[in-house]
């Protein structure tokens, strides 16, 4: 069985065109653009807050999780603070790619998936703020 490179390039070109068409149709709705702007703004603020914590900490170890009942649960390296915004960015990208495959003019599904992405990113920024408060208060 041989692989024809011309067929492979043709398949790649056609799939790229289909992907661009699906993204264009999805971005045609104004509420999708609003969701994306909000997601980018929240995630960017989460990255900036994580960078601020990383820059202003004076030691190598920081408290990454605190429980009211048990106290400090997790102590780790300063660079581990970047896991929180990376997780939010990965959720947003995965949900957007999932939406490209399943939306088909269903605005409820678009609101549901982007709403959950916003909610997840808001909870993650609350986690980053709590790490900031624990270490600097």
> d(Cα 49, Cα 132) in Å, to the nearest integer?
8
Overall average pLDDT of the 11-39 stretch: 78
Half-sphere exposure of 98 (CA within 13 A, CB side): 13
Predicted confidence at residue 2, as pLDDT, reads: 63
Note the pLDDT tens digit of each residue in 31-77: 888 999 999 999 999 999 999 988 888 788 888 777 778 777 878 88
* Closest by CA position to 21, among listed 13, 30, 10, 33: 13
- Decide if pLDDT at 86 tops 80: yes
Residue 2 in any domain: the answer is: no
Note the pLDDT tens digit of each residue in 97-131: 888 877 776 778 888 989 999 999 999 999 899 88
What are the DSSP E strand ranges found in the chain?
61-67, 71-77
Residue 107 in any domain: the answer is: yes
- Decide if pLDDT at 1 tops 70: no
Predicted confidence at residue 16, as pLDDT, reads: 74
Beta-ladder partners of 125: none
Half-sphere exposure of 31 (CA within 13 A, CB side): 11
**Structural domains in the chain (count):** 1
* Residue numbers of the domain that contains 71: 14-136
């Amino acid at each position: 069985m041989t692989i024809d490179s011309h067929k492979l390039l043709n398949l790649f070109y056609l799939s790229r065109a289909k992907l661009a068409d699906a993204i264009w149709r999805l971005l045609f709705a104004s509420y999708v653009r609003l969701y994306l702007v909000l997601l980018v703004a929240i995630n960017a603020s989460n990255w900036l807050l994580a960078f601020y914590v990383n820059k202003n900490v004076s030691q190598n170890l920081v408290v990454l999780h605190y429980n009211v009942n048990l106290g400090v649960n997790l102590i780790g390296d300063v660079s581990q603070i970047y896991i929180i915004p990376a997780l939010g960015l990965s959720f947003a990208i995965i949900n957007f790619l999932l939406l490209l495959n399943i939306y088909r003019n269903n605005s409820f599904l678009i609101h549901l998936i982007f709403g959950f992405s916003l909610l997840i990113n808001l909870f993650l920024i609350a986690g980053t703020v709590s790490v900031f408060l624990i270490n600097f208060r």
